[in-house]
Amino acid sequence: MKNKGDGMTEFLLAAVFIGGLFLLFMMVRAAFADSVHVHVLSFDKYPSEIDDLNLFFISDIHRRTIHDNIINEAKGKADIVIIGGDLTEKGVPFSRVRDNLKKLSKIAPAYFIWGNNDYEVDLKQLENVFREFNVTVLKNEAAFLPGSNEKVVLVGTDFTDTSEIMRIILYSINNSAFRIVLSHNPALAEEVSEVDNVPLILSGHTHGGQIRILGFGPYEKGGIKKYPATTLFVSNGYGTSLLPLRLGAPAETHLITVKRNKGLSTTSMNHPASPS
């Protein structure tokens, strides 16, 4: 004769199993999200004589193929594309890297900085793909944006280098130029001082912790963080590391408008991609 307790145990096990499947589904869904977040960042140091800068920012693509809906959402809305490192990693076919860069080049001229995982692949082959799509690689280099009359400059750092290298680049640039530092690792923001004159840093690398339990993760969730000497913008990234799973830090890309104003203001909207 079946014990009533056995029925309750079976029910609880079934509930746990179904709950586990649902959680797994949500983690996969978050890992493969196709969202474009819209932000407005206003700075009193942005040159008044220059138009607002509209940029599309994507980092940590890793093994993913960029969805066409992401490209369609950003096309016609960005002046430049910034690839914030970890475009690829070991084992990713170059055909996929090429397809991703081909898609991004349809949005606007692209700029790339190195992430730690980018060094795992054949660098010569990767550089050939960059040349094919006219991607500007900033490895401890600066590039004034076309049409800005040398008033807006991107400063790209290498993943392995420190703030001292960044300062060598900064000191070679007119101090009146509005400086946007591209650093795959957001830890650089902690080393920036007022004399560096860096209003904005764009970063990725951390994946927002990727899997956050009850709001806690190995890294802070992506977002905008104000430091005494700079503003740090960190993306959760588009791809994943190790497992194609996310929890509490869904995949994301960004349309960012940088403009002139007093202080810092931000707005953010989430644009999920339409179903294929």
Q: Is residue 199 pLDDT above 50, yes or no? A: yes
Mean pLDDT of 112-132: 97
Residue 274: per-residue pLDDT: 45
What length does the chain have? Answer: 276
Residue 264: per-residue pLDDT: 47
What domains does the chain contain, in order, with CATH numbers?
A: 33-260 (3.60.21.10)
Residue 164: per-residue pLDDT: 87
Indicate the pTM of the whole model.
Answer: 0.91
Rounded to whole angstroms, the Cα distance separating 178 from 189 reads: 16
CB 252 within 8 A of CB 35: yes
User: Which two tokens mark 157?
Assistant: 């750092």
Residue 271: per-residue pLDDT: 58
Residue 269: per-residue pLDDT: 52
Residue 9 or 41, more confident: 41
Rounded to whole angstroms, the Cα distance separating 27 from 30 reads: 5
Residue 176 or 160, more confident: 176
Residue 19: per-residue pLDDT: 79
Rounded to whole angstroms, the Cα distance separating 250 from 221 reads: 10
% of the chain surpassing 90 pLDDT: 80
Rounded to whole angstroms, the Cα distance separating 132 from 97 reads: 12
Rounded to whole angstroms, the Cα distance separating 41 from 95 reads: 35
Please state, rounded to an integer, the average pLDDT across all residues of the chain: 91
Please report, for residues 38, 90, 105, 138, the alpha-carbon distance to residue 119 in angstroms, rounded to integers and kept in the order given.
30, 8, 22, 15
Which residues does 13 contact at the CB level (< 8 Å), separation at least 6?
Answer: none
